[in-house]
Amino acid sequence: MKLLRRIPAPVWLLAPALLFVAAMALFPLGSALVLSFRQWRLTKSTEPGPFIGLENYVLLFTDDPEFLESLWATFVFVTSDVAATLAVALGAALLLRRAGRVNSLARVLLILPFVMSPALIGISFRFFLNPEFGIAQYLIGQVIPALQGKVWLADRTLAMAAVVASDVWHWAPYMTLVILGGLASIPPETEEAARVDGASEWAVFRDVTLPQLLPVLGIVLVLKTVFALKAFDTIFTLSNGGPGTSTQTLAYFVYHTAFNYYDMGYAAAAAWVLTALLLALSGYYLRLVFRKR
């Protein structure tokens, strides 16, 4: 106890958390970086192989169509996922912003998809899209005859749509809550003044509401991009990266390379490509979030 008193308070307060973050986040990052410069097939040896410099990275970008395809799949998944989530969440937030009993019920329900297991969501969407007895595939087939009897998960485009839909279902409600929070902090006088001046509802939204909402939308945009880049569970349980490589995003590619091909050094290099993207985004995100203070 005496010794403890001599250590400055911030040090012993911070030590457990910081040591832990260093050991469990920074150390593995570094060790994966080292690993990415080595050749190591777990099937051949349990010991890491020789250092081969940047060869893993060179191979990724010059001689691996599967990796390039997964970059493309990542791009398609992230852009459509983020755009759809943002559009749905903004629309829903503007709708639910008004007072009313049904609206407040809906606001409570919004939390449910977010706390559901993403693995379960993937499994459920697989069930809903089953070609013989999937309820969603049946209902969609009734509305859009061209999609009647389609095997969604065997079609490259539809499989991607399914993966995106499951992720939007998981995230858009939560993002709606975040945007509702942003809308609540807009002073009502600003919008009322515009209405008194005879502005149309659309003009009020475009010229008054939207500009004040932009900081929140920025945060939602970056945060969702980060989580889309990290998405794994729903892809694993819904489409398994298929058909072919059509829904194999970068995160899934790393898993596949490491734990199906056991090519650890190569997987680490691919993982660092993903991590570099994410760290760049996180720098941008932190600037957005802390700018206000």
Q: Which is nearer to other proteins, 148 or 185 (CB)?
A: 185
- CB under 8 A: which stretch of 67-75, 96-104, 142-150, 151-159 binds other proteins? 96-104
Distance between CA 207 and CA 202 in Å, rounded?
A: 8
**Cβ neighbours for 89, distance < 8 A, ≥ 6 positions apart:** 172, 173, 175, 176, 178, 179, 220
DSSP-assigned beta bridge partners for residue 41: 263
Near other proteins by CB under 8 A: residue from 90, 229, 238, 246: 229
Out of 95, 144, 210, 214, the only residue in the binding site for other proteins (CB under 8 A) is: 95
Q: Are 254 and 273 in contact (CB under 8 A)?
A: no
Which residues in 20-39 contact other proteins (CB under 8 A)? 20-21, 24-29, 31-32, 35
Least Cβ distance, residue 3 to other proteins (angstroms):
14
Residues 131, 137: contact at Cβ < 8 Å? yes
- Does 244 contact other proteins by CB under 8 A? no
Shortest reach from residue 79's CB to other proteins, in Å:
18
Query: What is the nearest approach in angstroms of other proteins to the Cβ of residue 53?
Result: 19
Of 59-67, 74-82, 130-138, 155-163: span binding other proteins (CB under 8 A): 130-138
The verdict on whether omega for the bond into residue 243 sits within 30 degrees of 0, i.e. cis, is: yes
Least spacing, CB of residue 244 vs other proteins, in Å: 20
Neighbours of 73 (CB within 10 A): 24
99 binds other proteins (CB under 8 A): yes
- Return the residue of 152, 159, 182, 208 that touches other proteins, per CB under 8 A: 182
Q: Which of 149, 181, 211, 244 binds other proteins (CB under 8 A)?
A: 181
Which tokens belong to 262? 């056991």
Measured CA to CA, the distance from residue 269 to residue 14 in angstroms comes to: 32
The DSSP symbol for 243 reads S
Tokens of 118: 């993403």
Q: Which stretch binds other proteins (CB under 8 A): 52-60, 68-76, 147-155, 215-223?
A: 215-223
How far is Cα 56 from Cα 216, in angstroms, rounded to an integer? 39
What does the block give as tokens for 142? 């009734």
Q: Does 238 bind other proteins (CB under 8 A)?
A: no
Contacts of other proteins in 141-160 (CB under 8 A): none
For the packed helices 101-109 and 156-184, what is the interaxial angle rounded to 10 degrees?
A: 120
Window 1 to 20, contacts with other proteins (CB under 8 A): 9-10, 12-14, 16-18, 20
Judged by beta carbon, residue 83 or residue 289, the one nearer other proteins is 289
- Angular region, 31: left φ>0, alpha ψ -120 to 50, beta rest: alpha
* Residue (of 270, 250, 109, 88) closest to 167 by Cα position: 88
Residues numbered 252-291 forming contacts with other proteins, rule: CB under 8 A: 254-255, 258-259, 264, 267-268, 271-272, 274-275, 278-279, 281-283, 285-286, 289-290
